[in-house]
Structure 1
Amino acid sequence: MVRTNPERRQALLDGAIEVLARDGARGLTFRAVDKEAAVPPGTASNYFANRDDLLVQVGHRYYERLQPSDAAMSMLTEGPRTAETITALMTDIVDRITNFRTGYLAQLELRLEATRRPELQSLLTERVQADLTLNIRNHLDSALPGDEDTVLLLYLSLNWLILERLTLPGIFTEEQAKALVATAVDRAIGKG
C-alpha cells in the first residue's frame, strides 16, 4: 500500500465523501472513488488496505473538514458570556455543517454502516464522545451560561435540526432554523 501523496489522499477521501452522500455505502467502491476523485483507476487501492480502512479514513476526513474557524473559536474565548454568544456559536455550527451537505449525508451513511462494522462504530463513538467532552469542557471553561446538560441538549436538538434541513429542506426555512437555534439555546440555559 502506497501513501506518499497527502493531497491525493485527501482528494480520494473527499471523493469518497461525495460517493457516500450520492450513492450510499453500497455505492462506495474503489472504482467509484477513483472516478469521483478524477485519478487513474486503481489509485484508491494503493492508498487504502480495504473498504473498511477507507470507511474509517472517511470518518476522520469528515471531522477534519468541519473544524471551526478561528473567528468562531475567538468568539468562544473572547466573546461576551451571554446567551447571544452561545446562539452565534450554535448558528455557526449549524451553518458549517449545513454548508457541507455531502459531508453530513456521508456521515449518516457511516453511522448506518457502523451498525455492521465494529471498528467503524468504535471510531465514531470515540470521535463523537471526544467532541462532546471537548465541547462541554470549552463551554464550562469559558463561563458561558448553562452547564453540561446545556451542551448535551443543544447537541441533540441541533443535530436533528440539521438532519431536517439537509434531508427535508422544505420543513424549515433558513429564518425558521435560525429562530429555532435561538429558542433551543434559551430553553437549554433555562431562559424560556
Structure 2
Amino acid sequence: MARNDDRRSALADAGIRVLAEEGARGLTHRAVDAAAGTPRGTASNYFPTRVDLVAALVDRIEERLAPDPETLAQLKQRTPDRAVFAEHLRNVVRRLSANPHVSLALFELRLEASRRPSVAKALGAWRRRAFEDDVAFNASAGLPGGRIELALFHYAIDGLMLDHLTAPIEDNLSIDFVVDELVDRILR
C-alpha cells in the first residue's frame, strides 16, 4: 500500500479523539474508522495491531504538542530569568489547553500504560526524550532551574492540566497565575 501521510495523520487524529472521548477501552480500529469517516478496515491497514495504533497515537501527540521552534528561538534571545522561564511554562500550558482532546488522550494513555507494558514502552520513551529535550533547552537558554526543578514543573503542570480538563478544585485561579506561583515557589 502506498504511504499516505495525510490519511495516516487524519486516522491518528481520529484515534486521539476516540481515546479522549471513549477512553482506552473504546479505542478500536473500527472506532477510529468511524471517527475518521473512512471505510471499515482503513485504520487496520495503516496500523495493523493495537500496539501499532497506540504507537501512532503517541507519535501524533508528540507532533501536535511540539513547541514552535520560532517561539523557542525567541525565548533563547531574551535575558534568561524567571519571567522568561514562566513565559516558557505558560506556552507549554497554552499548547496543552489548546488541544484538550490531545491532552485528555495523553492522560488516557498514561493510565493505560499502568496496565499494558507496550503502551508504557511507547509512551515512556517519548516522555523521557521530551524531558531530556526540556532539560537541554533550559540549559542552552540559560534559564533558571535544573533537572530536579524541571521534573517538579512537569509533575505540577500534569496535575494542573488534569485538574483544568476534568473537575477543577478551584475555579477562581487563572492558569497564568498558577504557573507564575509555581515558578516563584519552586525556583525560590
TM-score range, shorter chain: over 0.9
1:86 is displaced (CA, Å) by 0.7
The number of equivalent residue pairs is 188
Q: Which residue of 2 aligns with 1:22?
A: 21
Q: State the alpha-carbon separation in 2 of the partners of residues 101 and 4 from structure 1.
A: 29
Q: Which residue of 2 aligns with 1:137?
A: 136
Aligned partner letter, 1:136: V
1:115 is displaced (CA, Å) by 1.8
Q: Which residue of 2 aligns with 1:42?
A: 41
Q: 1:75–1:85: 8 Å Cα contact kept in structure 2?
A: no
Note the alpha carbon deviations across 1:97-130, whole angstroms, 9 max, x for none: 0111011111111112112221221111111111
Aligned: 1:68 with 2:62: no
Residue 112 of structure 1 aligns to a residue whose secondary structure is: helix
The structure 1 segments of at least 4 consecutive aligned residues displaced by more than 3 Å after TM superposition are none
1:50 is displaced (CA, Å) by 1.2
Q: Which residue of 2 aligns with 1:109?
A: 108
Q: Which residue of 1 aligns with 2:184?
A: 186
Aligned partner letter, 1:82: D
Note the alpha carbon deviations across 1:142-186, whole angstroms, 9 max, x for none: 11122222211111111111111111247334x522111001111
Structure 1: give runs of 5+ residues left out of the alignment. Answer: none
Q: Which residue of 2 aligns with 1:85?
A: 84
Q: 1:140–1:148: 8 Å Cα contact kept in structure 2?
A: no
1:70 is displaced (CA, Å) by 3.2
Q: State the alpha-carbon separation in 1 of the partners of residues 50 and 128 from structure 2.
A: 24
Q: 1:165–1:171: 8 Å Cα contact kept in structure 2?
A: no
Normalised to the residue count of structure 2, the TM-score between the two structures is: 0.93
RMSD: 1.5
Identity of counterpart residues, as a percentage? 35
Note the alpha carbon deviations across 1:56-109, whole angstroms, 9 max, x for none: 211111011111123421233212211110111100100110111011111111
**Cα distance change of structure 1 residues 3 and 102 upon mapping to structure 2, 3 Å threshold:** farther
Structure 2: give runs of 5+ residues left out of the alignment. Answer: none
Residue 174 of structure 2 aligns to a residue whose secondary structure is: helix
**Cα distance change of structure 1 residues 20 and 181 upon mapping to structure 2, 3 Å threshold:** same
Q: State the alpha-carbon separation in 2 of the partners of residues 78 and 45 from structure 1.
A: 45
**Cα distance change of structure 1 residues 167 and 112 upon mapping to structure 2, 3 Å threshold:** same
Residue 159 of structure 1 aligns to a residue whose secondary structure is: helix
Normalised to the residue count of structure 1, the TM-score between the two structures is: 0.91
Q: 1:83–1:145: 8 Å Cα contact kept in structure 2?
A: yes
Q: State the alpha-carbon separation in 2 of the partners of residues 3 and 171 from structure 1.
A: 50
